[in-house]
């Protein structure tokens, strides 16, 4: 077989076109963002994360550490093209939900990813359950793709460390005892429920406040790792089994005492209302008795003013005659 150099060149050219030109086209899905690098370097912009509003949640000592450059982000659509020396990184930016106790490095950790351990301020080991919602931020893809090797591991570890620190130092707001159910009545300082002194009670009654504190405490995750924590949903806090019965007894006792106090306060409020109503009724009766006398005094004053000095004596004589006509007997004083 005779070797054809022209055929070899044509075949090599065809292979190059199929391998690098036709396969160089790509698309980006609606829930994806893409970053393209040339010889391992992404096309950078003139700004950094410190010029983005996300940087306001970083501490002063963290600003230089997490100063990542802003890079060009390829939006959904296509087709786009890349050369053989270019590489495309596609990232899913849809919101995802993971178990609070999920460990990406060890699926057997935290009781198989079902319960997260923590220690309260009174040295009580508790188990927490819940969920964590997060999404990749397209405003800091450099941190997510190039900043850390496994960003999800970093951000979950960061979230758990913040959560355990808040659990260890959590105290119920002074002057209130927030209930789990919205619209429940607030209690004032000095209530028996606040005197329990058991931190797990404070945590259970303030789950909404704890979740809000976690959302605020993790706002810097976007600038740190390129992942935004949308919401933490801590749904359950359970004590160890050996103290569950004792804690239930304490709560039952305080609930009973609280119920007795509420009944006594309701009875006192009812008696107070009744006393106020009785005073109001007696006041109205007194006013009803006084009002005719006042009207009579006004009439007599007008009669004296318009009728002369002898009118009052005639009026009194007529009133006496009317009374004598109605009386069966009368006692008259005789002057000697």
DSSP one-letter string for 126-151: EEEEEEEEEEE-TT-HHIIIII-S-H
Q: What pLDDT shows up at residue 33?
A: 92
173-212 core/surface letters (b: 16 or more CB in 10 A; e: else): eeebbbbeeeeeeebeeeeebbebebbbbbbbbbbebbbe
Query: What CATH code is carried by the domain that includes residue 80?
Result: 3.30.479.30
The rounded average pLDDT for each run of 10 residues, N- to C-terminus, in the chain (336 residues) is 64 69 82 91 90 89 90 89 88 90 85 85 84 90 89 88 87 56 39 48 82 87 89 82 62 73 84 87 85 80 74 77 76 72
Q: What pLDDT shows up at residue 214?
A: 87
146 and 284 together in one domain: no
157 and 81 together in one domain: yes
pLDDT in tens, 299-332: 777 777 777 767 777 777 777 777 777 777 777 7
pLDDT in tens, 222-269: 998 999 988 888 888 887 666 666 666 666 776 777 778 888 888 888
**How distant, in Å, are the alpha carbons of 18, 72, 74, 124, 143 from that of 28?**
21, 14, 8, 49, 20
Q: What pLDDT shows up at residue 107?
A: 83
237 and 303 together in one domain: no
Structural domain includes residue 336: no
Per residue, the 3-state secondary structure of 185-252, as one string, reads CCCCCCCCCHHHCCHHHHHHHCHHHHHHHHHHHCCCHHHHHCEEEEEEEEEEEECCHHHHHHHHHHHH
Range of the domain at 158: 9-181+193-241
294 and 204 together in one domain: no
22 and 138 together in one domain: yes
Q: In this structure, are strands 77-81 and 25-28 parallel, antiparallel, or unpaired? A: antiparallel
268 and 236 together in one domain: no
CA dist., res. 187 & res. 201, Å (int): 14
Q: What pLDDT shows up at residue 249?
A: 65
CA dist., res. 70 & res. 55, Å (int): 13
**How distant, in Å, are the alpha carbons of 126, 173, 176, 199, 212 from that of 121?**
11, 15, 19, 7, 19
Q: What pLDDT shows up at residue 104?
A: 85
* pTM summary value: 0.61
Q: What pLDDT shows up at residue 36?
A: 92
3-state secondary structure of 287: helix
Chain centroid, CA 333 distance in Å:
88
Q: Of the candidates 218, 26, 42, 216, which has an alpha carbon nearest to the alpha carbon of residue 141? A: 42
148 and 32 together in one domain: yes
174 and 285 together in one domain: no
87 and 111 together in one domain: yes
Q: What pLDDT shows up at residue 3?
A: 55
Q: What pLDDT shows up at residue 21?
A: 67
Q: What pLDDT shows up at residue 84?
A: 81
Domain count, the chain: 2
Q: What pLDDT shows up at residue 22?
A: 66
102 and 205 together in one domain: yes
Q: For 213-216, which contacts have Cβ atoms below 8 Å and span 24 or more sequence positions?
A: 213/166, 214/159, 214/162, 214/163, 214/166
3-state secondary structure of 161: helix
66 and 127 together in one domain: yes
């Amino acid at each position: 077989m005779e070797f054809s150099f022209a055929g070899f060149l044509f075949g090599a050219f065809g292979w190059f076109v199929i391998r690098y030109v036709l396969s160089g086209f790509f698309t980006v899905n609606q829930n994806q963002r893409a970053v393209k690098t040339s010889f391992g370097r992404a096309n950078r912009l003139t700004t950094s994360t410190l010029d983005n509003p996300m940087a306001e949640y970083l501490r002063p000592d963290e600003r230089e550490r997490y100063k990542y450059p802003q890079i060009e982000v390829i939006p959904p659509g296509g087709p786009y093209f890349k050369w053989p020396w270019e590489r495309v990184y596609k990232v899913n930016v849809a919101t995802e939900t993971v178990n609070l106790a999920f460990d990406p490095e060890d699926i057997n950790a935290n009781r198989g990813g079902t319960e997260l351990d923590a220690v309260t301020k009174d040295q009580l080991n508790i188990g927490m359950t819940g969920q964590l919602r997060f999404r990749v931020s397209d405003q800091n893809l450099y941190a997510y793709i190039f900043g850390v090797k496994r960003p999800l591991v970093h951000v979950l570890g960061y979230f758990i460390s913040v959560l355990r620190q808040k659990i260890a130092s959590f105290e119920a707001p002074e002057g209130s005892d927030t209930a789990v159910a919205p619209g429940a009545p607030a209690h004032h300082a000095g209530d028996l429920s606040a005197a329990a002194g058991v931190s797990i009670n404070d945590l259970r009654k303030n789950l909404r406040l704890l979740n809000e504190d976690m959302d605020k405490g993790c706002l810097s995750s976007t600038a740190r790792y390129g992942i935004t924590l949308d919401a933490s949903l801590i749904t359950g806090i359970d004590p160890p089994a050996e103290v569950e019965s004792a804690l239930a007894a304490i709560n039952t006792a305080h609930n009973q005492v609280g119920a007795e106090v509420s009944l006594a306060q309701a009875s006192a409020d009812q008696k107070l209302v009744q006393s106020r109503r009785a005073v109001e009724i007696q006041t109205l009766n007194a006013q009803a008795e006084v009002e005719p006398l006042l009207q009579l005094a006004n009439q007599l004053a007008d009669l004296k003013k318009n009728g002369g000095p002898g009118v009052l004596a005639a009026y009194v004589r007529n009133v006496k005659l009317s009374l004598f006509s109605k009386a069966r007997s009368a006692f008259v004083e005789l002057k000697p």
